[in-house]
Structure 1
Amino acid sequence: MNGRIDGRLLPTPVDRDAPVRAHRLPTLGERAGGSFAGFDAFADKVAEMIDVPFSMVNFIDANRQFFAGLHTPTGTHTGSYLGVAAAGSGRGGRYVALDHGYCPHVVARRKALALEDVCDYPRFAGNPVVDDIGIRSYLGAPLIDPAGIVLGAVCAVDTVPRPWGQAGLDTIKSLAQELIGHIHRREDNGSIAL
Protein backbone atom coordinates (compact mmCIF):
# COMPACT_ATOMS: atom_id res chain seq x y z
CA MET A 1 0.00 0.00 0.00
CA ASN A 2 1.14 3.50 -0.73
CA GLY A 3 -0.12 6.99 0.09
CA ARG A 4 0.06 9.93 -2.30
CA ILE A 5 1.28 13.46 -1.63
CA ASP A 6 2.20 15.98 -4.27
CA GLY A 7 2.04 13.23 -6.91
CA ARG A 8 4.66 11.11 -5.10
CA LEU A 9 4.02 7.72 -3.57
CA LEU A 10 4.90 7.25 0.07
CA PRO A 11 5.66 3.71 1.22
CA THR A 12 3.80 2.00 4.00
CA PRO A 13 5.90 0.18 6.58
CA VAL A 14 6.70 -3.42 5.68
CA ASP A 15 4.04 -5.82 6.96
CA ARG A 16 6.10 -8.75 8.21
CA ASP A 17 3.07 -10.79 9.31
CA ALA A 18 1.32 -10.66 5.91
CA PRO A 19 2.32 -14.17 4.74
CA VAL A 20 1.34 -15.86 8.01
CA ARG A 21 -1.86 -13.84 8.29
CA ALA A 22 -2.80 -14.71 4.70
CA HIS A 23 -2.88 -18.37 5.71
CA ARG A 24 -4.51 -17.79 9.09
CA LEU A 25 -7.47 -15.56 8.21
CA PRO A 26 -9.24 -18.08 5.95
CA THR A 27 -8.94 -20.64 8.76
CA LEU A 28 -10.58 -18.20 11.16
CA GLY A 29 -13.42 -17.69 8.68
CA GLU A 30 -13.92 -21.45 8.27
CA ARG A 31 -14.07 -21.91 12.05
CA ALA A 32 -16.70 -19.21 12.20
CA GLY A 33 -18.73 -21.01 9.52
CA GLY A 34 -18.24 -18.05 7.18
CA SER A 35 -20.06 -15.84 9.70
CA PHE A 36 -18.53 -13.08 11.78
CA ALA A 37 -21.62 -12.51 13.93
CA GLY A 38 -20.77 -10.59 17.07
CA PHE A 39 -18.09 -8.37 15.56
CA ASP A 40 -20.73 -5.78 14.65
CA ALA A 41 -21.82 -5.70 18.28
CA PHE A 42 -18.19 -5.20 19.30
CA ALA A 43 -17.86 -2.34 16.78
CA ASP A 44 -21.02 -0.83 18.32
CA LYS A 45 -19.38 -1.08 21.75
CA VAL A 46 -16.25 0.69 20.46
CA ALA A 47 -18.37 3.49 18.97
CA GLU A 48 -20.31 3.91 22.19
CA MET A 49 -17.27 3.87 24.49
CA ILE A 50 -15.26 6.31 22.40
CA ASP A 51 -18.28 8.31 21.19
CA VAL A 52 -17.60 8.19 17.45
CA PRO A 53 -19.87 7.83 14.40
CA PHE A 54 -17.78 5.03 12.83
CA SER A 55 -15.86 2.07 14.22
CA MET A 56 -14.51 -1.11 12.68
CA VAL A 57 -13.04 -4.49 13.46
CA ASN A 58 -10.80 -4.87 10.47
CA PHE A 59 -9.00 -8.01 9.28
CA ILE A 60 -6.34 -7.46 6.63
CA ASP A 61 -5.08 -9.99 4.12
CA ALA A 62 -2.45 -9.57 1.42
CA ASN A 63 -4.82 -7.81 -0.98
CA ARG A 64 -7.59 -6.03 0.90
CA GLN A 65 -9.27 -5.17 4.18
CA PHE A 66 -12.41 -6.82 5.54
CA PHE A 67 -14.65 -5.04 8.04
CA ALA A 68 -15.72 -8.05 10.14
CA GLY A 69 -17.32 -5.58 12.53
CA LEU A 70 -18.75 -2.27 11.41
CA HIS A 71 -20.60 0.55 13.13
CA THR A 72 -22.01 3.46 11.11
CA PRO A 73 -24.08 6.44 12.27
CA THR A 74 -27.21 4.88 10.77
CA GLY A 75 -26.61 1.54 12.49
CA THR A 76 -26.98 -0.32 9.18
CA HIS A 77 -23.70 -2.26 9.53
CA THR A 78 -23.10 -2.03 5.78
CA GLY A 79 -20.09 -0.70 3.95
CA SER A 80 -22.35 1.06 1.45
CA TYR A 81 -22.57 3.92 3.95
CA LEU A 82 -18.80 4.23 3.68
CA GLY A 83 -18.85 4.14 -0.11
CA VAL A 84 -16.89 0.88 -0.29
CA ALA A 85 -17.49 -1.67 -3.00
CA ALA A 86 -18.90 -5.08 -2.22
CA ALA A 87 -16.23 -6.76 -4.35
CA GLY A 88 -18.23 -9.97 -4.35
CA SER A 89 -18.12 -10.14 -0.58
CA GLY A 90 -21.70 -11.03 0.10
CA ARG A 91 -21.25 -9.00 3.31
CA GLY A 92 -22.83 -5.70 2.31
CA GLY A 93 -19.72 -4.06 0.89
CA ARG A 94 -17.28 -4.84 3.67
CA TYR A 95 -14.16 -5.27 1.57
CA VAL A 96 -11.99 -2.27 0.77
CA ALA A 97 -8.60 -1.76 -0.86
CA LEU A 98 -5.45 -1.66 1.26
CA ASP A 99 -4.82 1.98 0.39
CA HIS A 100 -8.13 3.14 1.94
CA GLY A 101 -7.81 4.09 5.57
CA TYR A 102 -5.20 3.73 8.24
CA CYS A 103 -5.63 0.22 9.67
CA PRO A 104 -2.97 -1.24 7.33
CA HIS A 105 -0.49 1.20 8.90
CA VAL A 106 -1.47 0.01 12.38
CA VAL A 107 -1.04 -3.61 11.30
CA ALA A 108 2.34 -3.06 9.64
CA ARG A 109 3.64 -0.93 12.53
CA ARG A 110 2.23 -3.31 15.17
CA LYS A 111 1.42 -0.24 17.27
CA ALA A 112 -1.59 1.91 18.03
CA LEU A 113 -2.06 5.04 15.94
CA ALA A 114 -3.83 8.23 16.98
CA LEU A 115 -4.40 10.91 14.35
CA GLU A 116 -6.22 13.82 15.94
CA ASP A 117 -6.56 15.54 12.56
CA VAL A 118 -5.43 13.49 9.57
CA CYS A 119 -4.95 16.71 7.61
CA ASP A 120 -2.06 17.63 9.93
CA TYR A 121 -0.07 14.65 8.60
CA PRO A 122 0.96 14.86 4.93
CA ARG A 123 1.46 11.10 4.81
CA PHE A 124 -2.18 10.50 5.84
CA ALA A 125 -4.01 13.60 4.52
CA GLY A 126 -4.09 12.30 0.95
CA ASN A 127 -5.75 9.01 1.86
CA PRO A 128 -8.93 8.37 -0.20
CA VAL A 129 -11.10 8.15 2.95
CA VAL A 130 -10.54 11.84 3.62
CA ASP A 131 -12.33 12.92 0.43
CA ASP A 132 -14.59 9.89 -0.09
CA ILE A 133 -16.01 9.60 3.43
CA GLY A 134 -14.91 12.81 5.14
CA ILE A 135 -12.73 11.13 7.76
CA ARG A 136 -10.79 13.68 9.81
CA SER A 137 -9.58 11.70 12.84
CA TYR A 138 -8.52 8.11 13.45
CA LEU A 139 -7.74 5.99 16.50
CA GLY A 140 -6.71 2.37 16.02
CA ALA A 141 -4.90 -0.49 17.74
CA PRO A 142 -3.57 -3.79 16.39
CA LEU A 143 -5.19 -7.14 17.12
CA ILE A 144 -2.17 -9.22 18.09
CA ASP A 145 -2.88 -12.87 18.86
CA PRO A 146 -1.08 -14.85 21.58
CA ALA A 147 1.40 -16.18 18.98
CA GLY A 148 2.40 -12.57 18.18
CA ILE A 149 0.68 -12.39 14.78
CA VAL A 150 -1.20 -9.19 13.93
CA LEU A 151 -4.58 -10.24 12.54
CA GLY A 152 -6.00 -6.79 11.96
CA ALA A 153 -7.04 -3.71 13.87
CA VAL A 154 -9.88 -2.21 15.83
CA CYS A 155 -10.49 1.46 15.16
CA ALA A 156 -12.65 4.47 15.84
CA VAL A 157 -12.99 7.30 13.32
CA ASP A 158 -14.71 10.65 13.23
CA THR A 159 -15.54 13.29 10.65
CA VAL A 160 -14.19 16.06 12.88
CA PRO A 161 -10.77 16.47 14.49
CA ARG A 162 -10.60 14.76 17.89
CA PRO A 163 -8.07 15.22 20.70
CA TRP A 164 -7.73 11.51 21.55
CA GLY A 165 -5.00 11.97 24.18
CA GLN A 166 -3.59 9.21 26.33
CA ALA A 167 -7.07 8.23 27.52
CA GLY A 168 -8.15 7.53 23.94
CA LEU A 169 -5.04 5.47 23.26
CA ASP A 170 -5.50 3.50 26.47
CA THR A 171 -9.16 2.82 25.62
CA ILE A 172 -8.54 1.58 22.07
CA LYS A 173 -5.63 -0.61 23.24
CA SER A 174 -7.81 -2.08 25.99
CA LEU A 175 -10.60 -2.78 23.51
CA ALA A 176 -8.13 -4.48 21.14
CA GLN A 177 -6.91 -6.68 24.02
CA GLU A 178 -10.48 -7.53 24.98
CA LEU A 179 -11.35 -8.52 21.42
CA ILE A 180 -8.23 -10.63 20.89
CA GLY A 181 -9.08 -12.39 24.17
CA HIS A 182 -12.55 -13.24 22.78
CA ILE A 183 -11.02 -14.49 19.53
CA HIS A 184 -8.44 -16.63 21.34
CA ARG A 185 -11.03 -18.20 23.66
CA ARG A 186 -13.37 -18.92 20.74
CA GLU A 187 -10.56 -20.44 18.67
CA ASP A 188 -9.80 -22.77 21.57
CA ASN A 189 -13.45 -23.85 21.40
CA GLY A 190 -13.40 -24.26 17.59
CA SER A 191 -15.23 -21.07 16.62
CA ILE A 192 -14.49 -17.35 16.57
CA ALA A 193 -18.10 -16.18 16.59
CA LEU A 194 -18.44 -13.71 19.45
Structure 2
Amino acid sequence: MSHDPPRPAGRLLLTPQDKDAPARVRRLRRLGLGERPEPAFDAFADHLARVAAAPYSMVNFIDERQQFFAGLHTPDGARGARLMAGVDGSELEPGRYMARDHGFCPHVVVRRKALVLEDVCDYPRFAGNPVVDEFGVRSYLGAPLLDRSGIALGTICVVDIEPRPWGRAGLETIKAMAAELAGQLERRDEVHGI
Protein backbone atom coordinates (compact mmCIF):
# COMPACT_ATOMS: atom_id res chain seq x y z
CA MET A 1 0.00 0.00 0.00
CA SER A 2 1.46 3.36 -0.96
CA HIS A 3 1.17 6.48 1.13
CA ASP A 4 1.59 10.07 0.11
CA PRO A 5 4.88 11.56 1.27
CA PRO A 6 4.61 14.23 3.95
CA ARG A 7 3.76 17.59 2.48
CA PRO A 8 5.96 20.49 3.58
CA ALA A 9 3.92 23.44 4.81
CA GLY A 10 2.92 25.79 2.02
CA ARG A 11 4.01 23.42 -0.76
CA LEU A 12 1.88 22.15 -3.61
CA LEU A 13 0.48 18.68 -3.08
CA LEU A 14 1.53 16.64 -6.07
CA THR A 15 -1.06 15.19 -8.37
CA PRO A 16 -1.03 11.40 -8.21
CA GLN A 17 1.04 9.48 -10.73
CA ASP A 18 -1.06 8.72 -13.81
CA LYS A 19 0.27 5.56 -15.46
CA ASP A 20 -2.70 5.45 -17.86
CA ALA A 21 -2.05 8.90 -19.33
CA PRO A 22 -0.38 7.71 -22.57
CA ALA A 23 -3.19 5.24 -23.32
CA ARG A 24 -5.80 7.89 -22.44
CA VAL A 25 -4.20 10.44 -24.76
CA ARG A 26 -4.13 7.95 -27.64
CA ARG A 27 -7.79 7.10 -27.03
CA LEU A 28 -8.83 10.75 -26.77
CA ARG A 29 -7.04 11.57 -30.04
CA ARG A 30 -8.70 8.64 -31.83
CA LEU A 31 -12.07 9.89 -30.60
CA GLY A 32 -11.25 13.50 -31.54
CA LEU A 33 -11.74 14.64 -27.94
CA GLY A 34 -9.90 17.00 -25.67
CA GLU A 35 -8.71 19.61 -28.14
CA ARG A 36 -11.74 21.77 -28.89
CA PRO A 37 -14.98 22.74 -27.19
CA GLU A 38 -18.14 21.09 -28.44
CA PRO A 39 -21.64 22.53 -28.13
CA ALA A 40 -22.98 19.13 -27.00
CA PHE A 41 -20.54 19.09 -24.08
CA ASP A 42 -21.40 22.68 -23.16
CA ALA A 43 -25.09 21.67 -23.19
CA PHE A 44 -24.28 18.67 -21.00
CA ALA A 45 -22.39 20.93 -18.55
CA ASP A 46 -25.37 23.33 -18.49
CA HIS A 47 -27.72 20.41 -17.72
CA LEU A 48 -25.36 19.07 -15.03
CA ALA A 49 -25.21 22.50 -13.36
CA ARG A 50 -29.02 22.71 -13.31
CA VAL A 51 -29.44 19.19 -11.91
CA ALA A 52 -26.81 19.77 -9.20
CA ALA A 53 -27.84 23.40 -8.59
CA ALA A 54 -24.16 24.28 -8.87
CA PRO A 55 -22.65 27.49 -10.27
CA TYR A 56 -19.86 25.73 -12.19
CA SER A 57 -19.72 22.44 -14.05
CA MET A 58 -17.34 20.88 -16.52
CA VAL A 59 -16.81 18.01 -18.92
CA ASN A 60 -13.08 17.59 -18.54
CA PHE A 61 -10.58 15.59 -20.60
CA ILE A 62 -7.10 15.18 -19.15
CA ASP A 63 -3.85 14.53 -20.96
CA GLU A 64 -0.30 14.25 -19.65
CA ARG A 65 0.16 18.00 -19.17
CA GLN A 66 -3.19 19.70 -18.76
CA GLN A 67 -6.93 19.53 -18.40
CA PHE A 68 -9.31 20.68 -21.12
CA PHE A 69 -12.89 21.68 -20.35
CA ALA A 70 -14.65 20.49 -23.51
CA GLY A 71 -17.91 21.36 -21.77
CA LEU A 72 -18.15 24.33 -19.44
CA HIS A 73 -20.90 26.05 -17.47
CA THR A 74 -20.32 29.25 -15.51
CA PRO A 75 -22.91 31.39 -13.70
CA ASP A 76 -22.54 34.26 -16.14
CA GLY A 77 -22.61 32.00 -19.19
CA ALA A 78 -19.04 32.85 -20.21
CA ARG A 79 -17.51 29.89 -21.98
CA GLY A 80 -13.82 30.21 -21.40
CA ALA A 81 -13.47 33.92 -20.83
CA ARG A 82 -13.38 33.65 -17.06
CA LEU A 83 -13.78 30.44 -15.12
CA MET A 84 -14.00 32.00 -11.67
CA ALA A 85 -13.10 35.13 -9.79
CA GLY A 86 -10.03 35.01 -7.61
CA VAL A 87 -10.61 35.02 -3.87
CA ASP A 88 -9.46 38.64 -3.76
CA GLY A 89 -12.13 39.56 -6.32
CA SER A 90 -9.71 39.79 -9.24
CA GLU A 91 -10.69 38.13 -12.48
CA LEU A 92 -8.70 35.08 -13.49
CA GLU A 93 -8.67 33.76 -17.02
CA PRO A 94 -7.77 30.10 -17.18
CA GLY A 95 -10.37 29.65 -19.91
CA ARG A 96 -10.91 26.07 -20.96
CA TYR A 97 -7.43 24.89 -19.98
CA MET A 98 -6.03 24.23 -16.54
CA ALA A 99 -2.72 22.79 -15.42
CA ARG A 100 -2.82 19.12 -14.53
CA ASP A 101 -1.75 19.83 -10.95
CA HIS A 102 -4.71 22.18 -10.37
CA GLY A 103 -8.07 20.89 -9.23
CA PHE A 104 -9.38 17.53 -8.21
CA CYS A 105 -10.30 15.89 -11.53
CA PRO A 106 -6.82 14.35 -11.99
CA HIS A 107 -7.36 12.52 -8.69
CA VAL A 108 -10.71 11.19 -9.93
CA VAL A 109 -9.13 9.97 -13.18
CA VAL A 110 -6.33 8.12 -11.40
CA ARG A 111 -8.69 6.62 -8.78
CA ARG A 112 -11.40 5.82 -11.36
CA LYS A 113 -13.92 6.61 -8.65
CA ALA A 114 -16.18 9.52 -7.83
CA LEU A 115 -14.91 12.10 -5.35
CA VAL A 116 -17.10 14.09 -2.98
CA LEU A 117 -15.56 17.05 -1.17
CA GLU A 118 -18.31 18.92 0.66
CA ASP A 119 -15.75 21.36 2.08
CA VAL A 120 -12.26 20.94 0.64
CA CYS A 121 -10.82 22.67 3.71
CA ASP A 122 -11.84 19.62 5.77
CA TYR A 123 -9.36 17.48 3.79
CA PRO A 124 -5.69 18.42 4.28
CA ARG A 125 -4.78 16.42 1.17
CA PHE A 126 -7.01 18.64 -1.00
CA ALA A 127 -7.10 21.95 0.92
CA GLY A 128 -3.67 22.93 -0.43
CA ASN A 129 -4.66 22.57 -4.07
CA PRO A 130 -4.08 25.78 -6.08
CA VAL A 131 -7.78 26.08 -7.05
CA VAL A 132 -8.66 26.67 -3.40
CA ASP A 133 -6.52 29.80 -3.06
CA GLU A 134 -6.54 31.00 -6.67
CA PHE A 135 -10.22 30.47 -7.52
CA GLY A 136 -11.92 30.10 -4.15
CA VAL A 137 -13.18 26.55 -4.75
CA ARG A 138 -14.71 25.21 -1.55
CA SER A 139 -16.64 22.15 -2.69
CA TYR A 140 -16.28 19.59 -5.47
CA LEU A 141 -18.25 16.64 -6.79
CA GLY A 142 -16.81 14.67 -9.70
CA ALA A 143 -17.00 11.28 -11.39
CA PRO A 144 -14.84 9.58 -14.03
CA LEU A 145 -15.86 9.04 -17.65
CA LEU A 146 -14.94 5.38 -18.06
CA ASP A 147 -14.80 3.96 -21.58
CA ARG A 148 -15.57 0.33 -22.32
CA SER A 149 -11.92 -0.67 -21.85
CA GLY A 150 -11.88 0.82 -18.35
CA ILE A 151 -9.76 3.86 -19.23
CA ALA A 152 -10.88 7.02 -17.49
CA LEU A 153 -11.01 9.51 -20.39
CA GLY A 154 -11.79 12.41 -18.11
CA THR A 155 -14.45 13.55 -15.67
CA ILE A 156 -17.62 15.43 -15.19
CA CYS A 157 -17.72 17.66 -12.16
CA VAL A 158 -19.48 20.46 -10.37
CA VAL A 159 -17.84 22.97 -8.05
CA ASP A 160 -18.96 25.74 -5.77
CA ILE A 161 -17.25 28.57 -3.95
CA GLU A 162 -19.25 27.68 -0.82
CA PRO A 163 -19.23 24.41 1.12
CA ARG A 164 -22.00 22.11 -0.16
CA PRO A 165 -23.63 19.08 1.46
CA TRP A 166 -23.70 16.96 -1.72
CA GLY A 167 -24.68 13.85 0.24
CA ARG A 168 -25.53 10.42 -1.11
CA ALA A 169 -28.02 11.92 -3.59
CA GLY A 170 -25.31 14.12 -5.11
CA LEU A 171 -22.94 11.17 -5.38
CA GLU A 172 -25.54 8.99 -7.09
CA THR A 173 -26.50 11.82 -9.45
CA ILE A 174 -22.92 12.56 -10.57
CA LYS A 175 -22.21 8.85 -11.09
CA ALA A 176 -25.40 8.38 -13.13
CA MET A 177 -24.67 11.42 -15.28
CA ALA A 178 -21.07 10.27 -15.85
CA ALA A 179 -22.39 6.88 -16.98
CA GLU A 180 -24.85 8.64 -19.29
CA LEU A 181 -22.13 10.72 -20.94
CA ALA A 182 -19.77 7.72 -21.14
CA GLY A 183 -22.56 5.88 -22.98
CA GLN A 184 -22.87 8.78 -25.42
CA LEU A 185 -19.10 8.68 -26.02
CA GLU A 186 -19.29 4.93 -26.64
CA ARG A 187 -22.07 5.43 -29.21
CA ARG A 188 -19.96 8.13 -30.83
CA ASP A 189 -17.09 5.63 -30.95
CA GLU A 190 -19.33 3.03 -32.64
CA VAL A 191 -20.61 5.53 -35.22
CA HIS A 192 -17.06 6.45 -36.19
CA GLY A 193 -15.96 2.81 -36.15
CA ILE A 194 -13.08 3.43 -33.80
- Is the TM value for this pair above 0.5? yes
Distance 1:110 1:75, change over 3 A: same
1:83-162 map, 5 Å: 83-85=92-94, 93-162=95-164
Q: CA deviation at 1:81?
A: 3.0
**Residue aligning to 2:25:** 22
Question: Unaligned 5+ residue runs, structure 2?
Answer: 85-91
TM-score (norm 2): 0.86
The question of whether the paired residues in 2 share the 8 Å contact of 1:112 and 1:169 is answered with yes
Question: Unaligned 5+ residue runs, structure 1?
Answer: 86-92
TM-score (norm 1): 0.86
Q: CA deviation at 1:9?
A: 5.0
The question of whether the paired residues in 1 share the 8 Å contact of 2:14 and 2:101 is answered with no
**Residue aligning to 1:81:** 83
The question of whether the paired residues in 2 share the 8 Å contact of 1:5 and 1:126 is answered with no
Distance 1:159 1:8, change over 3 A: closer
- Corresponding position: 1:72 with 2:69: no
Task: Choose the corresponding residue for 1:182, options 177, 184, 189.
Answer: 184
The question of whether the paired residues in 1 share the 8 Å contact of 2:59 and 2:155 is answered with yes
Name the CA distance, whole Å, in 2 between partners of 1:94 and 1:160: 22
- The farther-off stretch of 153-162 and 19-28 is 19-28
Letter in 2 for 1:152: G
Letter in 2 for 1:97: A
- The farther-off stretch of 127-136 and 39-48 is 127-136
Letter in 1 for 2:192: G
The question of whether the paired residues in 2 share the 8 Å contact of 1:5 and 1:122 is answered with no
The question of whether the paired residues in 1 share the 8 Å contact of 2:49 and 2:57 is answered with yes
**Residue aligning to 2:88:** none
Q: CA deviation at 1:187?
A: 1.5
CA distances 1:21-70 after superposition (whole Å, capped 9, x unpaired): 1212122227x995522000000011000000000000000010000000
The question of whether the paired residues in 2 share the 8 Å contact of 1:53 and 1:73 is answered with yes
**Residue aligning to 1:7:** 10
Name the CA distance, whole Å, in 1 between partners of 2:29 and 2:21: 13
Aligned pairs, number: 183
Name the CA distance, whole Å, in 2 between partners of 1:4 and 1:55: 29
- Corresponding position: 1:51 with 2:64: no
Letter in 2 for 1:180: A
Helix, strand or coil: the match of 1:81?
Answer: coil
Question: Percent identity over the alignment?
Answer: 60
Name the CA distance, whole Å, in 2 between partners of 1:107 and 1:176: 12
Letter in 1 for 2:66: R
Letter in 1 for 2:28: L
Give the alignment's Cα RMSD to 1 decimal: 2.4
